[in-house]
Structure 1
Amino acid sequence: MSLKDQILADMKTAMRAKQASQLESIRMLRAAIQRKEVDDQTEIGDDEVMLILQKQIKQSQDAITQFKAGERQDLAEKEQTHVDNLMVYMPAQLSDEEVAAAVADAISSTGASSMQDMGKVMGILKDKLQGKADMGKVSGLIRAKLS
């Protein structure tokens, strides 16, 4: 079952169970997927759905930060619920140790020795870790090791 089919099935289940917050999150995700399909005039696969999912989660996490800064805890909690509902579709996240090991392996395999080689290392790691780790943290680890 593809990720899109799973999302559709979960939407139907949420409708039947009258789970309003989960249904709202899934509908927002499906709308973003449909918008991408209409814009590109093509059917998208699981990889593109995963990118859309990551973008939705990132936007919600940014909103949480903004709401907390504005002392709007009620809205921050609503966005956190949205993130929790969407995280169900993400693959299992790697631990910090696993990410650090992958970064060390990529640096040694590319022979990177300075910040000029960061692009090579990120190129290798992006394919391996996309969706499984926060790429911002990965970038920070690479910077720390290369500087």
Structure 2
Amino acid sequence: MLKSRIQDDMKSALKAGDKTRLGVIRLILAAIKQREIDERIELDDAQTLAVLDKLIKQRRDAIAQYETAGREDLAAAERFEIEVIQGYLPPALTEAEIGELITSAIAEQGAQGLSDMGRVMNVLRSKLQGRADLGAVSALVKQRLGG
């Protein structure tokens, strides 16, 4: 399981004395644990990937704000956190692979226009979780459906 791998990496970072990496891994585990407590469940790999995706999105938003404020030091710290988090995600899909998945999801749902976008995104979400930026995918789906 992905969660076990993250816990093992925490132990390795602790033994190696890598405080910055250890801090990020602890942050990841805290977010996972928080969701488990909130929902009273044990997260599976798909749910853990959703947590990791959310953490990356938060970091990207923070980077944009820090760069606007001229705080490159803080933006660099957020970029490092993204690198560590991305190490637990499956390999990213290529644009061609994403395009094929969008085409098949549109056909599978019989989508005709923007009113069908939610159904198409629901199909894509499970296939793309942790492997593509869902915001960018959403824009591509919207474009394909005539928006």
Output the TM-score relative to the length of structure 1: 0.93
SS at match of 2:41: coil
**Where in structure 2 are there 5+ consecutive unaligned residues?**
none
Work out whether residues 6 and 25 of structure 2, in 8 Å CA contact, stay in contact via their aligned partners in 1: yes
Judge which range, 39-48 or 22-31, deviates more.
Answer: 39-48
Instruction: Give the conservation status (yes or no) of the 8 Å contact 2:13–2:19.
Output: yes
Shift of 1:43: 2.3
Q: CA deviation at 1:111?
A: 2.5
Displacement of 1:46:
1.7
Describe how 1:25-104 pairs up with structure 2 within 5 A. Answer: 25-104=24-103
User: What number of residue pairs does the alignment pair up?
Assistant: 146
Could you tell me how far apart the structure 2 residues matched to 1:101 and 1:66 are?
Answer: 34
Structure 1 equivalent of residue 106 of structure 2: 107
After alignment, is 57-66 or 127-136 more displaced? 127-136
The share of aligned pairs that are identical, in percent, is 39
Check if 1:126 corresponds to 2:125: yes
Q: Distance in 1 between matches of 2:24 and 2:64?
A: 19
Distance 1:41 1:124, change over 3 A: closer
Letter of the aligned partner of 2:31 in structure 1? A
Match of 1:143 in 2: 142
State how far apart, in whole Å, the 1-side matches of 2:63 and 2:115 are.
Answer: 34
Stretches of 4+ aligned residues off by more than 6 angstroms: none
In 2: Cα distance, 1:81 partner to 1:38 partner: 27
Instruction: Quickly say closer, same or farther: Cα 1:114–1:80, change in 2 above 3 A.
Output: same
1:22 pairs with 2:21: yes
RMSD: 1.3
Question: How much does 1:80 deviate?
Answer: 0.4
| Greater Cα offset, 37-46 or 65-74 | 37-46
Q: TM-score, normalised by structure 2?
A: 0.93
Amino acid at match of 1:57: I
Q: For residue 10 of structure 2, what is the amino acid of its counterpart? A: M
